[in-house]
Chain A
Amino acid sequence: MKIHPLFSTFANAVKKAEIESDKICLVSDFLYQPKISEYLGFDLFHVTRGRSIPFATGMKLGNPKLKVVVFVGDLITLGGNHFMHASRRNMDIVVICVNNFLYPKINGKKSPTIKSAFSPYSVFERPVNIPHVARSSRAVYVARWTALHKKELTESMTRALGKSGFSVIEVISPGNCYFAGIPASPKENELIEFYHKNSEIKNDEDTKNVEITAEKKIIVGKFFEKKRPTYIDSYNERHSKVIGDKFKIYE
């Protein structure tokens, strides 16, 4: 079976981050490749469209020892609100947002983050600047790479996995068929090359300026990193302060 490079990258990152693979839990609303869990040895949950982040929130709160990773495709449509609020709360999850310029599995319909050239209907829709929304909602780690920036992507994933807090990595990669292990069509291969060529690395760039438009190159890089107490940290801190000894640290 062919596994999308993204997954091998992710598996490498897990190895590098030295996290026990049993404790890794993937939540996704668009993964169609069931055997991933078997091959990589992670638990995988495929839930309703757009609700992967609240599902992950519940998992993390249910068992704080888990490392919950959310793979999302159309996050910014249905699940935009959950994204913003989980980010605000600083839920300790890693969000890998596969911005594939097409709705996964849905006949290449427009997605809000799409550039006009790739979908006939989206000319009049503005794209969301995911890194900027993430940063504005106080995510602690924000990066963007194309699928071909393997080295940088692995690094970013390793960093995000090692960090506690809401980390967002936007990965620009075309076509869900490709993503699901079906051999990419020449057009998709062309696209992925195109993205790679058309990108420019600018680390620590202000997220305001990284909007994807038809006019300029796709700016990639690690844009932002910060430390901030997570939801569970603040919960424990605040409650032990107010309640005192009667409160048992939640972990």
Chain B
Amino acid sequence: MSLVLEGVSRTVGGEVHLEDINLTFERGEFNVLMGLTRAGKTTLMRVMAGLEPPSKGRVLEDNVDVTATPVQKRSLGMVYQQFINYPAMSCYDNIASPLRLAKLSKAEIDRRVRAEAERLGIDHLLDRMPLEMSGGQQQRCAMARALVRDAKLILLDEPLVNLDYKLREGLRAELRELFKDRDTVIVYATTEPEEALVLGGKTAVLHEGRLVQHGLTAETYRNPATVTVSQVFSDPPMNLIEADVRDGRMVVGGLLDEPLPAHMSDLAPGSYTLGVRPHHLFANSVGAHGIDLAGTVEVAEIAGSVTYIHLEVGGHDWVVLERGVHMVHPGERFNVHFDPARLYAFDHEERLVASPATERG
């Protein structure tokens, strides 16, 4: 089972929401739609579901053109970000609704509803009404309804964004288990890079209605095709700095003048955008890491297991990711240290021209 989008475009009231999207989603693995808010993720999902017609292009399910098929006739499950359930029905009836419409036997419905509720940990809430349940439980009920029917296509539109952070962490870890070895195409939209990386599979990066990159999730993360992907598919975004390459050296006025690292040696002279990941920056010259840049601290953000230190480096806002909890005060001097072998380089058209050799070959 595969879902193919051919030249899908969508303009609404003169505003372009999607522009010439060509994508193929395979069965049995996660297909993540990554992009900022308003990048067109929701519109693309609604077109795939048949809830909105594309202005141009076709949607094919196993080479059958389903572009105009009414959504009732499609084998589909969808989870919205605002935990949509039928308020006037109990959790049990909510989950059973698609099965009743498919006219399954009562016993079969009961078995499958309880099994799915068990898998999502809400089997003790089946006779509750949606409004009597917490946000997390309501979303689990909505997910159970989408999963119970073994549909060909399951769409999840940022399902965790409205949950408390700890609930989100818990449910995110369960997602892989929940969707493992199901004979269905799973498409998951999110703005959070970590969610894409947890779910694995393939990731398509959308920006302002256009497909920017599509590939294996880890691969796309490690080799962002453009500067945009390096910003969208990284939290905090990759640190950037404009530099000139001439006669074997890379120069940033007054800040940096170093020989090119091995993986960038064949770059033609000219202006480039160099990038380095926050977790490849280290504080205060720990060991021989090569390049040293002076910066001043703007603010330190502690996120429990890690600390994000926001710095001003040569007029750029950079972020250092430190493991553990480190209190630093705004205004402090902070020398940032990194190994040039970890540098990314983008040409003047913002396309990736050099990326650090992935550690594990």
A and B together in one complex: no
